[in-house]
Amino acid sequence: MSKAFLSPGEIAEATIATGVKKANHSTVNMIILGILAGLFISIGGHADITIMQTFTDIDIGITKFLGGAVFPVGLLLVVVAGGELFTGNCLMTMALVDKKITLNQMLKNWSLVYLGNFIGSIIFAASLVFAGAYKLGGPMAETALTIATGKMSASVAQIIVKGIYANILVCLAVWLAYGAQDIASKTIAMWFPVMTFVMLGFEHSIANMFFLPLAKFLGFEVSWAQMWLHNIIPATIGNIIGGGIVIPLLYYIVYILPQRKADIKSKSRA
C-alpha cells in the first residue's frame, strides 16, 4: 500500500529534488510556465475581488475570509496543472544549500520566472479592463481601487514584514503539497495556508503584480516606479526572506543536515 503522505524529512528531500528539476528547466520553459503561473495567480486575485465586492457592506471579517477562500485556486493551478511561481520557487534555496544546484542556476530561475509571472499578471489585468469586467464607478472597480490604496498606504518596512509572513504561508502550502500524494490531498493542504495569508492581508509580490497594475489601468494615481519601489520590490524582499530563508533553511537544519552529517561519518568509516 502506498503512503498517503510523506513525513517532514521526506518532504524536505522532495523539495530538494524539485529544486533540482526547476533549476534544469530550459529558458523557454521557465518563461512560459512563469507566464502561466502569473495568469493563474491573477485569476485567484480576480475571484477574490469578485466575491469581496459583493460582501463589502456586510462585514469586513467575512469579506476577507470569503475573498481568501477563493484566492487559493491560483496556487492549486500552479502546483497541479503546472506552472513556475517565483514565491514558491524561493524554496529552491534548500537545494542550493545542499549543493545540488548552483547560485547561478537558482538566480536564473528566479529572474526568468519572476519576469514570466509579471507578464502573465499584466496581460490578465489589462485584458479584464479591456473586456469591461471592471466598469469605472462600479463595485468591482471600487474594490480593486480600495485594495490598491491599502497596499500603497503601508510603509516599505510594513510591506517587507507582511511579505515575510505571506511567503512563509505560501511556501508552507507548497511544502504540504509536496507531502500529499493525490490531488484531493494537495488541494486541501494548500488551500488553508493560502486562504489565511490573503485573509490576514499579507503581501504577495506576484499577486500585487495583478492588483496594482489593475488599479492603475482603472485610473489609480500611481506611477510604475512608485508601484515597484514602494510595494512590489519590498514585498519581493519579504517573500525571499520568508520563503527562501526562514522555511527552507530552518527545515534543512532540522531534517537534512543531520542526515548529511551521518552520511559523511558513514563514508569516512568505510
Q: Burial letters for 156-165: b for 16+ Cβ neighbours within 10 Å, e otherwise?
A: eeebbbbbbb
CB 252 within 8 A of CB 175: no
pLDDT at 56: 67
Q: How confident is the model at residue 270 (pLDDT cuts 50, 70, 90)?
A: low
Q: Which tens digits make up the pLDDT trace of 55-102? A: 767 788 888 999 999 999 999 999 999 999 999 999 999 999 999 999
pLDDT at 71: 97
Residue 76's closest CA among 41, 51, 45, 47?
41
pLDDT at 164: 98
Indicate whether 192 pLDDT > 90.
Answer: yes
Q: What is the mean pLDDT of the chain?
A: 95
SS3 59: coil
Indicate whether 176 pLDDT > 80.
Answer: yes
pLDDT at 54: 80
Q: How confident is the model at residue 165 (pLDDT cuts 50, 70, 90)?
A: very high
Q: Which tens digits make up the pLDDT trace of 6-58? A: 999 999 999 999 999 999 999 999 999 999 999 999 999 999 999 998 876 77
Domains of the chain: 8-264 (1.20.1080.10)
Question: Does pTM top 0.75 for this prediction?
Answer: yes
- Bridge partners (DSSP) of residue 5 are 180
CB 169 within 8 A of CB 189: no
pLDDT at 265: 79
Indicate whether 1 pLDDT > 60.
Answer: no
Of 189 and 4, more confident:
189
pLDDT at 55: 75
What is the spatial distance between Cα 141 and Cα 134, in angstroms, rounded to a whole number? 5
Of the chain, the end-to-end C-alpha distance in Å amounts to 35
